[in-house]
Amino acid sequence: MKSITIKGSQRESVGKVATKALRNAGQVPCVLYGGDKPVHFSAEELAFKKLVYTPNVYTATIEVEGATYAAILQDIQFHPVTDRILHVDFYQLFDDKEITMNIPVKLTGTSPGVLNGGSLRFTNRKLRVKALPANLPDFISADISSLKIGSKLLLSSLFNEDYTFMHPDNTVVVQVRTSRNATAEDDTEEAETAEGAEAAAPAAE
């Protein structure tokens, strides 16, 4: 998984007054959990742009006072009016410890059901997986090229030995449902098939 580097400064004080002063200076108060003790630091608000305002998922490489930590975004607080970032919590990653994350699903291929007028329902755009940090994917690929009208792509078909899905195997990821246009086209195809069979019958005799 791709990583974004965030350079921060150690926070000497974590009180409300110090926190407010940081925000006024364009800094975001942050805490890194998961290690021996929490690491309190601050970073420029612009440093979080690629990490927060994106549909993609990234890990974070946090650099604070000469120390480097691998982490994931755990929680983020926004101002209710301005939507400015108020506070960010990170969780430290370790190479030998599995982590759980929501990973986006990327559809590949073309569904014949959609081409015939069916409606594509993308019900699970993100899936929760558990894996070692090195095995976390940037996205999960879901091939829909075999989906006809009425077909469903279940989670069980996306099995990957590098990570474990934290959902039931029968979870529907994407499906193609019928529509008025699809029904009319299906009836036409059935009628044409029947006519073809009747025309072929005398010739066979």
For the segment 144-158, what is each residue's pLDDT rounded down to a tens digit? 999 999 999 999 999
* CATH 2.170.120.20-classified regions of the chain: 100-194
Q: pLDDT at position 202, please?
A: 47
Token pair, residue 18, equals: 């110090």
Is the model's pLDDT at 19 over the cut of 60? yes
How far CA 7 is from CA of 12, 46, 84, in Å, comes to 16, 11, 19
Is the model's pLDDT at 186 over the cut of 90? no
Q: Is the pTM of this model over 0.85?
A: no
pLDDT range class, residue 181, cuts 50, 70, 90: low
Instruction: Count Cα neighbours of 5 within 13 Å in the Cβ-side half-sphere.
Output: 5
Distance CA 21, CA 8 (A): 16
Contact at 8 Å (CB) between 19 and 77?
no
The residue among 144, 145, 167, 137 whose CA lies nearest residue 155 is 167
Q: pLDDT at position 72, please?
A: 94
| 5-32: average pLDDT | 87
Residues 6+ apart with CB under 8 A from 28: 22, 42, 43, 44, 45, 47, 48, 85, 86, 87, 88
Q: pLDDT at position 108, please?
A: 96
Q: List, for residues 75-112, the tens digit of each pLDDT value.
A: 999 989 988 899 999 999 999 999 999 999 999 999 99
* CATH 2.40.240.10-classified regions of the chain: 3-93
pLDDT range class, residue 185, cuts 50, 70, 90: very low
b (16+ CB within 10 A) / e for 173-186: bbbbeeeeebeebe
How far CA 112 is from CA of 49, 125, 148, 149, in Å, comes to 38, 20, 5, 8
Name the CA dihedral angle for 144, 147, 149, 154, rounded to a multiple of 10 degrees. Answer: -90
Q: pLDDT at position 201, please?
A: 45
Under CATH, what is the fold of the domain 100-194?
RNA Polymerase Alpha Subunit; Chain A, domain 2 (2.170.120)
Under CATH, what is the fold of the domain 3-93?
Ribosomal Protein L25; Chain P (2.40.240)
Higher per-residue confidence, 79 vs 171: 171
The residue among 131, 127, 153 whose CA lies nearest residue 139 is 127
Contact at 8 Å (CB) between 99 and 131?
yes
Q: pLDDT at position 182, please?
A: 61
Q: List, for residues 21-79, the tens digit of each pLDDT value.
A: 888 888 999 999 998 899 999 999 989 988 888 888 999 999 998 999 999 999 999 98
